[in-house]
Amino acid sequence: MSSHYKIIRRRQDVGMRISALYRQQQLSIGILDMGTSEELINTIDWYLANMNCLLHVMTTEEMFEKSELELKYPDVTFICFDSFVSLGANINVFATECYATYFLIVRSDVEIIAFNGSELMNSLAEHNHPAVITPYMLNADGELLPTLRAPYLRGKLLDPISFFPNSEKPIAQDNLYPLLGLGIYDRALFQRLRGFDEAISGEFYQVMDFGIRCFLFGYRIYTISDLALRFPKRHSIVEDRSNCTGMERCYTKALSVIRIAGKNVTQKWKPYVDKELLKTEVKEKQIKLQKQDFFALMKSWPMPDTENE
């Protein structure tokens, strides 16, 4: 992992690190520092007061020192990066450093408005449990946002379609990837799937790459109303789907394996192909693990009733 960071562990963590060899915590919460220092402090205060879970904050060394966070929060573990890192790098480091079976990713500019812990943990404990449970998301006016994504190809381009979750029947609905990285993850499965690809620079391609891998390897991601977040200062969420460094890696892993007569074979998805990745990763490892191809995934996807254009 190329990210440079230091960890300031909560004061109980010396004993925790020893006991973790014998007993693992069920849930750890990771807060992404995405706003002002005031928002971060308010968010930490709320989680300390309302959630009885191990709390980690991913921030910068500058913010950590400027806000004197170590003095204010001795019961919080801080992961401090020396410079800006991608969303995927933040979550990968947190997944490595936390001691928990599951981890929840939230943000400092987001409020949690629903957390049905017993139902969420029951869902994650099922035999065919999802890799990630993603939340319903609401804007500043309390309106539901179109955060479901369905697999779609527009010509040669990966261009997922957006939908609103079903508000009348709050059932589990498949979601192609965890928008903004938010949700509850199975930590062991996340690491077995090798987490987010940090060689991809753009957040959209990072999360989509991870989500597609989940489904192609036989796991699900879904959204349920037992987990809901609100953006108090946003009216919408706009993804940056523009080209980025490493985007060919997403295309190569998503579209280079096709299934014919029950067997996986490789193809080059031109013009978006990483030849080295195709040779060393896809042909050597992925082709042996993949359960279906992207085209079958599109065909079998349970489409919601109403599309948000």
Q: Residue ranges of the domains in the chain?
A: 1-109
Instruction: Give the domain 1-109 fold.
Output: Rossmann fold (3.40.50)
- On whether the CB atoms of residues 88 and 197 are closer than 8 A, the answer is yes
Split at pLDDT 50, 70, 90, the class of 11 is: low
What does pLDDT average to over the chain?
92
| Tens-place pLDDT, residues 234-255 | 999 999 999 999 999 999 999 9
213's tokens? 């891998």
- Look at residue 308 in the predicted model and tell me its pLDDT: 42
Whole-prediction pTM: 0.93
Rounded Cα distance between 99 and 187, Å, is: 9
Rounded Cα distance between 178 and 79, Å, is: 22
| Tens-place pLDDT, residues 190-214 | 999 999 999 999 999 999 999 999 9
